[in-house]
A and B are shown apart, each in its own frame.
Chain A
Amino acid sequence: MSSSGPINWTPMIVGFTAGFLSRLISLRSGRTHYPGYPSGYISQIALAVIAAMIGSSILTSLLGKEFTAATFLTLAATQFRDVRNTERKTLEQEEHLILVSRGAGYIEGIAITYEARNYLAMLVALLGSALTLAGGLTVGIIGSVIVLIISEIFMSGKRVGDLIDVQPAKISFDKGSLLYAGDVMMMEVGLPHSRERYEKEGLAVVLTPKDERGQAILWNVSQRQAITYEAAAAVGAQKDIGYPEQSPLCRMEMPAGTGKAGLSILPVDRDMAKLIKAIKNTPVLESDKWSKMSSPVLKRKEM
């Protein structure tokens, strides 16, 4: 230890602060309704502290010729792979307890994001400490802020509202029992009592893709389940075990295959603006990104 001389703490402190902030910024729960409880926040913050520390101290330990310490830090970094598994397990457990499920695609998306966020905190901390080492405190702070902003822009994925137009639609019944949201046939409701409920209290929207990408994400079942989950989380769903026909649904316009989708819901809070806002704010799932190439419907021009 004596060979390394006096330790320069400044790069570590700047890097740590930048990395920790990078993680905190993304820890708002509004969008995915997760983490939704204090213990969830605590575990995330603890991980953020560790990630920021690893990132910010690695350069200092290398410069101090403490190669053992540096090696240990890279070892610690690999432990963050488990974050994804932990998140996934928690959310999958919850899936059986909630009436409108998130769907496997959404859960995977959230899990991947949480893992990546910790690595990002590490990178931001590393860059922050490197800049401070190279250019002093002022350059370090300004540079860290720029890195933070760039990383935020880079990491914020698209929303459904960017790719899809959401319009209010009327709920109607055709051929006696087929539930329609606008022009989109949703399902068959066999019980007259439930049909009355839908006509009186139901809400419906039609989702029209703005471009090919929008159409591709709508054809993904997981994406539609995520939209349904967000819709139900925003306005509530009158549903309980034993009332399967009152589940909120998001279905494509079939058999026409126009690429439009409809969503029907029996809300607790009958607020169309809130519903549309929630749908537009649903994140576009990672798992759809490939499907732009593979969906045969995209070859059709009339959408």
Chain B
Amino acid sequence: MADAPTPVMFAIVTTKKDSVTGGMAPIFIAEDDQERERIAMWISRITNAIVHDLHNGTLILTVNQSS
């Protein structure tokens, strides 16, 4: 189970809405960095998703699908 995780995109949180388009995951647009981090943390705690920082103003949340 934990041996080989397969991450699946779950949600996107961004302050630069122009840098993200479409896709399978919902996009949450935040006013500033602080709000972005807060939204990401909340979604992570609620859904057990892992937060990754792309360092372009966007955070992505992934969940590990059990294969």
Q: Is the CB of A225 within 8 A of B40?
A: no
A100 to B46, CA, bound (A): 20
Residue A104 at the chain B interface, CB threshold 8 Å: yes
The reply to whether A104 and B45 form a contact with Cβ atoms under 8 Å apart is: no
B59 / chain A contacts, CB cutoff of 8 Å: 190
On whether A176 and B55 interact (CB within 8 A), knowing A191-B37, A193-B41, A244-B44, the answer reads: yes
Known contacts A101-B1, A103-B3, A225-B3: A243-B45 contact under CB 8 Å:
yes
- Check B3–A191 contact: CB distance below 8 A: no
The answer to whether A221 and B3 have CB atoms under 8 Å apart is: yes
Residues of B within 8 A of A273 (CB): none
**Minimum distance in angstroms from A101 CB to a CB of chain B:** 5
- Pick from A101, A188, A225, A242: contact of B45, CB under 8 Å: A242
Q: In the complex the two chains form, is B51's CB within 8 Å of A242's CB? A: no
Q: Is A222 an interface residue (CB 8 A)?
A: yes
A105 — which chain B residues lie within 8 A by C-beta?
Answer: 3
- Closest chain B CB from A62 CB (angstroms): 47
Q: Which residues of A contact B46 (CB under 8 A)?
A: 242
Taking the complex as formed, is B53 at the interface, i.e. its CB lies under 8 A from any CB of chain A? yes
Chain B interface residue count, Cβ-Cβ cutoff 8 angstroms: 20
Instruction: Known A103-B3, A104-B3, A225-B2; judge A241-B41 contact (CB<8 A).
Output: no
- B 26-67 contacts with A by CB, 8 A: 37, 40-41, 44-46, 48-53, 55, 59-60, 64
A255 at the interface (CB under 8 A from B): no
- Chain B CB within 10 A, most for which of A100, A103, A192, A221: A192
Q: Which residues of A contact B51 (CB under 8 A)?
A: 189-191, 245
CB <8 Å contact, B2 and A101: yes
Best-surrounded residue of A104, A222, A242, A244 (most CB of chain B within 10 A): A244
CA distance A175 to B49 in the complex (A): 22
Contact with A along B1-34 (1 / 0, CB 8 A): 1111000000000000000000000000000000
Q: Is the CB of B37 within 8 A of A192?
A: yes
User: When A177-B55, A188-B53, A242-B45 are in contact, do A222 and B3 touch as well, CB less than 8 Å?
Assistant: yes
Residue pair B53, A244 in contact (C-beta under 8 Å): no
Partner of B50, one of A176, A193, A222, A245: A245
Interface centre among B2, B4, B64 (most CB of A within 10 A): B2
The residue on B at minimum CB distance from A188 is B52
Residue A201 at the chain B interface, CB threshold 8 Å: no
Contacts of B44 in A (CB 8 A): 191, 242, 244-245
- Chain A residues whose C-beta falls within 8 Å of the C-beta of B50 in the assembled complex: 190, 244-245
- Chain A residues 149-182 with CB under 8 Å of chain B are 175-177
Residue in A101, A176, A190 whose beta carbon sits within 8 Å of that of B40 in the complex: A190
What residues of chain B lie closer than 8 Å to A103, measured between beta carbons? Answer: 1-3
A95 interface contact, C-beta 8 A: yes
Question: Which residues of chain B come closer than 8 Å to A177, judged between CB atoms?
Answer: 52-53, 55
- B residues bordering A, Cβ < 8 Å? 1-4, 37, 40-41, 44-46, 48-53, 55, 59-60, 64
Enumerate chain A interface residues (CB-CB to B < 8 A).
95, 100-101, 103-105, 175-177, 188-193, 221-222, 225, 241-245
